[in-house]
Amino acid sequence: MSQIFHHSTNTLSRVSIFGGLFIVGFLVWAWAELNASTYATRAKVPADQPVPFSHEHHVGGLGIDCRYCHTSVETSSFANIPPSKTCMNCHTQIWNNAVMLEPVRDSFRTDRSIRWTRVHDLPDYVYFNHSIHVAKGVGCTTCHGQVNKMPLMWQENSLQMTWCLDCHRQPERFVRPKSEVFSVTYQPPPDQLELGRKLVAEYKIQSLTSCSTCHR
Amino acid sequence: MSKPYQYLDLAAVRAHLGSSRGRDYWRSLEELAESEGFQDMLEREFPRQAAEWTNDTAGRRHFLKVMGASMALAGLGACTRQPIETIMPYVRQPEEVIPGKPLFFATAVPVAGIATGVLVESHMGRPTKVEGNPEHPASLGATDAIAQASVLDLYDPDRSQTLTYLGDIRPWSSFLGAAREALNAQIPKGGAGLRFLTGAITSPSLADQFRTLLAKYPAAKWHCYEPAGRYAQLAAARQAFGQPVNTYYRLASADVILALDSDFLCTGPTSVRYAADFASRRSVRGNQIAMSRFYAVESTATPTGAKADHRLPVRAADVEAFAAAVASSVAASGAAGSQTATGPHAAFIAALVKDLAQHRGTSVVIPGEYQSTAVHVLAHAINAALGNVGKTVVYTDPLDPNPVDDFESLRELGQDMDAGKVEMLVIAGGNPVYNAPADFGFTQRMSKVKLRIHMGLYADETSEFCQWHIPEAHFLETWSDARAYDGTITIMQPLIQPLYFGRSVHEMLAAFGETPSQSPYDIVKGYWNRQHPGADFEDWWRKAVHDGIVPNTALPAKTVALKTGAVTPPRPVEGQGIEIVFRPDPHVFDGRFANNGWLQELPKPLTKLTWDNAALVSPATAERLKLQNEDLVDLEYRGRKVRAPIWILPGHANDSVTVHLGYGRTRAGRVGNRAGFDAYALRTSDAPWFGSGLAIRKAGSKFTLASTQMHYDMMGRQIVISGTVEEYRKDPHFVKERAEEPPKELSLYPGYKYEGYAWGMAIDQTACVGCNACVVACQAENNIAVVGKDQVQKMRAMHWLRIDTYHKGSPDNPETYFQPLPCMQCENAPCELVCPVQATSHSSEGLNDMVYNRCVGTRYCANNCPYKVRRFNFFLYSDWNTPSLKLQRNPDVSVRSRGVMEKCTYCVQRISEAKIEAEKEDRTLKDGEVQTACQGVCPTQAIVFGDINDSSSRVAKLKAEQLNYSLLAELNTRPRTTYLAALRNPNPEIEKA
């Protein structure tokens, strides 16, 4: 009876057994990279919107406070997307004929909502509350980035759980004085950790990492 | 497969009880009999074959193939990105609406016309949850199960959605045209051919509209028919006082209570208030012992009877003789000291009367709503003789503006229809084709009416026989008003625009009158403006609507004199043989809530049946007639026959069969159709609630019932601890001596430290009346799915909170205990240790968190839970598709998918919300600021939740009570939910006998 497998098969099998580890390792690494990539998280990718609203212009240029539009950020879990009426407060007077703003005027006329693309979209099993973060000295830009430099809105951070936990485990690395929460130009001082520890004590910030803090 | 037919050996039950030593609790007769099938069921975490697809013919090999393919696809699916979602803000945001924050609006839940004041939670215009209105006298902050479930009725996709004429869709204007034409023809006759039929109505504005309309058509008639109405109360008042009066009781000042076949704690529109007042006199805290004594005489075993210190099962027909004996003894005791009663219950009556006589002015006799007129008259007489009137018994003018005898009213309508006098019949809200007495032949007579109009929430049995059907607006969709038990009026405001273009009765009546386009808002407000003319009306209106009560509308107490000769000597019991007792179903009531999945799946008190009604019999009667649970029998009564399954109910009166109304619907909707049997088919107008002469014949086959009573058994462990007040006085530590609590250091694992809040719960078993309101409240708050009858049979009901019922003593008249069982939130939790993916873990405040998105469905946790509180989604139980049902969901709680474990969270969403509000104000939570859903709805405040680290909190104080104990403490799980032992206050004179 002749041999079924050639001698070279031995080498091949040794390589594949030994190399299998690397292949599996590579796959795990690739999966983790993909998962954290901006492709998967959509971080740093400007979202298409029916009206190309520019935070750069309105916040950076005109200096409108965050809370003029995001009215419930201090009271509710949801910061609120402004109603068309808020846009029209100014745009009945200025740029009231701009073609770009037609969807807003149309919404106001027909009483139909504008369908914005959701930029910061947490999974449905995550319950995030804006008001408590703002009340405890977490600045808008800490999570949302320099919105005053975003011509179209994008998601600055991954919004993955590991990113949330970075701060929940060590809040002192990120908190700022309450007076600076809505400032878009605030830069953390070089002694952030020292200031952070002081603020954590002063604001009674807890490091909440129980599952039910966010999941329920 | 488990054996389909398990013979219940009642002789074995008695033998077992005879041999047991003293205190022995049991849950079901099967357990007592120690039958083989029952033992087999107990051995298993889930019933045999529960994990199989019984309806799948393909078998295991095919299953593996499909699974393999779907695993591969699922793997790919996980690689997809989250879909891009849109967000749609308001165009003009209403001032008070803050997205993410619910608003609460006051309104009232009317059942059979009588209101319970509630506050309804609204998330951006969607009513999601009903809470009690603390300022409303019938609520005091609590509600019953039906009020909790009413929000599901609103979103029911089976509600009728279109106005139809002979089944074709028509616009409202076309109906108006047809109605106007018919009405114009009535004007010359003064409306002689016009009839209205409604249910019981207490709405002053609607009554005003009726009066206006009847002024225009003086010969027209307004009939009322309520299948489970208060006929006896009204008839008795006419007999005793010569006028209709409304009666209610002040149980908070009653030391001795006698219930004559009355389920006042769990049935009826006043039950929430009665339960609260009753429980306020049934509490033992330290040395403060405030215990009333409660005697119950009843035919069907009810939760009210279960709370009695002395319960006497007698046939419904014999209650009158019992009441007469009490009445004559009471009258005699006033005149010449004591007189001994005769008859089978002489000793009981003697002791009872002595107790009553010692508490003149602080005792009360409550006749059952479903008892005879004579029993009501006797109760009036006894209360008068005891000097209770004006103290514990209050008489007022009737609540109904049109107090008619329901059966007489319907009989008159039937006769008029038969005589061809009726040309136009308007049925607003009722369903007489389904629920009219069987002897009326209502349907045949109705067909003689030329124009038949039906308005209702559903296109039901009656609309099938009417040309016009108009969808009715749910009470959460329209304006109206209604009276509570004491006359207090609530102006009901809508929470949402009508979902299915429904119209209210107000609108229809207006359309028949001079103002066809008046809105319900204008009608109701206009009526109240006429009552309160003046410059301050707007303020008055806003305040009345906001508060949910119209000030000073409780009816004043009325003095009425008992007519001499009102009390007639007791009639001999008519007819021979077995008695049949009709009762409205505890959950679907007279059938109107039959399409409500929450109420259908809610295990009924005591029987724990879901999705069906049954013919309930006592163990002794079952033994005599050789009947077993689930035996199908033919019930024949006065020549009418219906086929029903048997359920043996411990504590039921002998030679008596109880059937619940409200089942056997044919056009209820997808949930209610074909559930149970129709007991109305046996019910006649001369015996609306009970009658003798029932024949029972075995049909020879079985019908499977889904009862949860045998799910999760106690295996003889000491779970309920009960005692008497006397025992407690002698030895306050008797509970601690019985419950063995191991030292804290016993655990191998280091203990947790709880530095902030530590949430805990204490449940008072003395206070719990087993009304089930908490179970539905939990379901509404936590988006708990309905699973259906076949899944309930497989022990897959999803309720996070269940009420376990335990019995003690002989099955003929056992003591009964209720034990609400949520998650114990153990400090040494067995579930947490076995989860391979950390989907359940310990929170810093002592909760056993459940993380749905981590759960992979191993079910190890459920297996390791000694309390059996974990629920697994074997299938996709939640409805992810029906749009209207999505609106009902609480947005603060995840909707679970298939393959995920879930359980009680102590309403962690409420804790979180309250904590955030407190943190923002830089303070700690006050006691009582967080209420779990079950606690908030509990009429008796049996459930108390709070921070056990705060020694001044109510829960910490309760846990410090001598009566407090942990379930299965010997396992050292250190549960955060603990129980206060159930106490009774028996009369030593009866106890001895």
Q: What is the pLDDT of residues B284-325, one digit of tens each?
A: 988 888 899 999 999 999 999 999 999 999 999 989 988 988
Q: Is the pLDDT of residue B332 over 80?
A: no
Q: B80 in contact with A at a CB cutoff of 8 Å?
A: no
- For the domain that residue B923 is a member of, what is the CATH number? 3.30.70.20
Q: Provide the number of structural domains found in chain B.
A: 4
Mutation for A interface: B85, B88, B91, B841, most A CBs within 10 A: B91
Q: How far apart are CA B25 and CA B714, in angstroms?
A: 9
Domain shared by B905 and B805, yes or no: yes
Give B99's contacts in chain A (Cβ within 8 Å).
Answer: 72, 76, 78, 80
Domain shared by B650 and B769, yes or no: no
User: Is the Cβ pair A84, B845 closer than 8 Å?
Assistant: no
Residue A44 lies in a domain: no
Domain shared by B256 and B338, yes or no: yes
Domain shared by A205 and A158, yes or no: yes
pLDDT in tens, B227-249: 998 888 888 999 889 899 999 99
Shortest Cα distance, chain B CAs vs residue A96, angstroms:
17
User: Is the Cβ pair A81, B89 closer than 8 Å?
Assistant: yes
User: Is the Cβ pair A129, B851 closer than 8 Å?
Assistant: no
**Average of pLDDT values for B101-114?**
93
C-alpha torsion A22→A27→A31→A34, nearest 10: 90
Q: How far apart are CA B144 and CA B129, in angstroms?
A: 13
Domain shared by B674 and B779, yes or no: no
The Cα-based distances of B941 to B206, B288, B760, B763, B944 in angstroms read: 35, 17, 15, 9, 7
Domain shared by A86 and A156, yes or no: no
Of A117, A135, A206, which is closest to B86 when you measure between CB atoms?
A117
Q: Copy the structure tokens of residue B763.
A: 């449940």
Domain shared by A76 and A89, yes or no: no
Mutation for B interface: A211, A213, A214, most B CBs within 10 A: A211
Q: Copy the structure tokens of residue B597.
A: 């999945």
Q: Is the pLDDT of residue B819 over 60?
A: yes
Nearest CA in chain B to A117: B86
pLDDT in tens, B440-494: 888 899 988 999 999 999 999 999 999 999 999 999 999 999 999 999 999 999 9
Q: Is the pLDDT of residue B330 over 80?
A: yes
Nearest CA in chain B to A103: B91
User: Is the Cβ pair A85, B82 closer than 8 Å?
Assistant: no
Domain shared by B790 and B927, yes or no: yes
> pLDDT-based confidence at B44, cuts 50/70/90?
low
Domain shared by B664 and B805, yes or no: no
Residue A46 lies in a domain: no
Nearest CA in chain B to A215: B851
pLDDT of residue B502: 92
Q: How far apart are CA B468 and CA B591, in angstroms?
A: 22
Q: Is the pLDDT of residue B43 over 70?
A: no
User: Is the Cβ pair B849, A215 closer than 8 Å?
Assistant: yes
pLDDT in tens, A130-142: 999 999 999 999 9
Q: Are B127 and B121 in contact (CB under 8 A)?
A: yes
Q: ipTM of the assembly?
A: 0.90
Q: Is the pLDDT of residue B161 over 90?
A: yes
Domain shared by A77 and A150, yes or no: yes
Shortest Cα distance, chain A CAs vs residue B495, angstroms:
21
- State the residue range of the domain holding A146: 55-81+117-213
* Tokens 């008489």 belong to residue: B395
Mutation for A interface: B86, B878, B892, most A CBs within 10 A: B86
Q: B841 in contact with A at a CB cutoff of 8 Å?
A: yes
* Tokens 């033994």 belong to residue: B623
Q: B756 in contact with A at a CB cutoff of 8 Å?
A: yes
Q: How far apart are CA B69 and CA B459, in angstroms?
A: 44
> pLDDT-based confidence at B40, cuts 50/70/90?
low
Domain shared by A164 and A59, yes or no: yes
Q: B897 in contact with A at a CB cutoff of 8 Å?
A: no
Q: β-strand B943-947 against B615-617: which pairing, if any? A: unpaired
Residue B163 lies in a domain: no
- For the domain that residue B307 is a member of, what is the CATH number? 3.40.228.10
Nearest CA in chain A to B917: A132
**CB atoms inside a 10 Å sphere around CB B241:** 19
**Average of pLDDT values for A42-48?**
90
Which candidate, A76, A158, A171, A81, places its Cα nearest to that of A123? A158
- For the domain that residue B678 is a member of, what is the CATH number? 2.40.40.20
Q: How far apart are CA B671 and CA B686, in angstroms?
A: 32
> pLDDT-based confidence at B9, cuts 50/70/90?
low
Q: Is the pLDDT of residue B154 over 60?
A: yes
Domain shared by A154 and A209, yes or no: yes
Residue A29 lies in a domain: yes
pLDDT in tens, B515-537: 888 899 999 999 999 999 989 99
Residue A164 lies in a domain: yes
Domain shared by A92 and A180, yes or no: no
Residue B272 lies in a domain: yes
Residue B369 lies in a domain: yes
Q: Provide the number of structural domains found in chain A.
A: 3
Q: Are B235 and B272 in contact (CB under 8 A)?
A: no
Domain shared by B891 and B777, yes or no: yes
Domain shared by B640 and B788, yes or no: no
User: Is the Cβ pair B845, A210 closer than 8 Å?
Assistant: yes
Residue A45 lies in a domain: no
State the burial class of residue B384 (Cβ atoms within 10 Å of its Cβ: 0-12, 13-18, 19+).
middle
Residue A198 lies in a domain: yes
Q: Copy the structure tokens of residue B834.
A: 């076995």
Domain shared by B861 and B775, yes or no: yes
Shortest Cα distance, chain A CAs vs residue B876, angstroms:
17
Q: Is the pLDDT of residue B991 over 90?
A: no
Final residue belonging to a domain, choices B396, B411, B428:
B396
C-alpha torsion B200→B202→B204→B209, nearest 10: -10
Give B81's contacts in chain A (Cβ within 8 Å).
Answer: 39-40, 42
User: Is the Cβ pair A204, B919 closer than 8 Å?
Assistant: yes
Mutation for A interface: B843, B850, B912, most A CBs within 10 A: B912
Shortest Cα distance, chain B CAs vs residue A108, angstroms:
6
Give B91's contacts in chain A (Cβ within 8 Å).
Answer: 83-85, 107-108, 111-113
Residue B826 lies in a domain: yes
Final residue belonging to a domain, choices B672, B691, B707:
B707
Residue B806 lies in a domain: yes
Q: Is the pLDDT of residue B893 over 80?
A: yes
**Average of pLDDT values for B113-139?**
94
Q: Please identify among residues 48-67 of chain B the ones whose CB lies closer than 8 Å to any CB of chain A.
A: none
Domain shared by A160 and A62, yes or no: yes
User: Is the Cβ pair A212, B852 closer than 8 Å?
Assistant: no
Domain shared by B648 and B762, yes or no: no
pLDDT of residue B713: 67
pLDDT of residue B329: 86
pLDDT in tens, B602-660: 999 999 999 999 999 999 999 899 998 889 999 999 899 999 999 999 999 999 999 99
Residue A61 lies in a domain: yes
Domain shared by B702 and B828, yes or no: no
Final residue belonging to a domain, choices B396, B423, B444:
B396
**CB atoms inside a 10 Å sphere around CB B51:** 10
Residue A48 lies in a domain: no
Give B894's contacts in chain A (Cβ within 8 Å).
Answer: 124-125, 215-216
- State the residue range of the domain holding B302: 246-396
Give A213's contacts in chain B (Cβ within 8 Å).
Answer: 843, 912
Domain shared by A97 and A141, yes or no: no
> What is the residue-averaged pLDDT of chain B?
88
Nearest CA in chain B to A50: B86
Q: How far apart are CA B941 and CA B936, in angstroms?
A: 8
Q: How far apart are CA B889 and CA B885, in angstroms?
A: 7
What percentage of chain B carries pLDDT values higher than 90? 65
Domain shared by A189 and A205, yes or no: yes
Domain shared by B679 and B781, yes or no: no
Q: Is the pLDDT of residue B53 over 60?
A: no
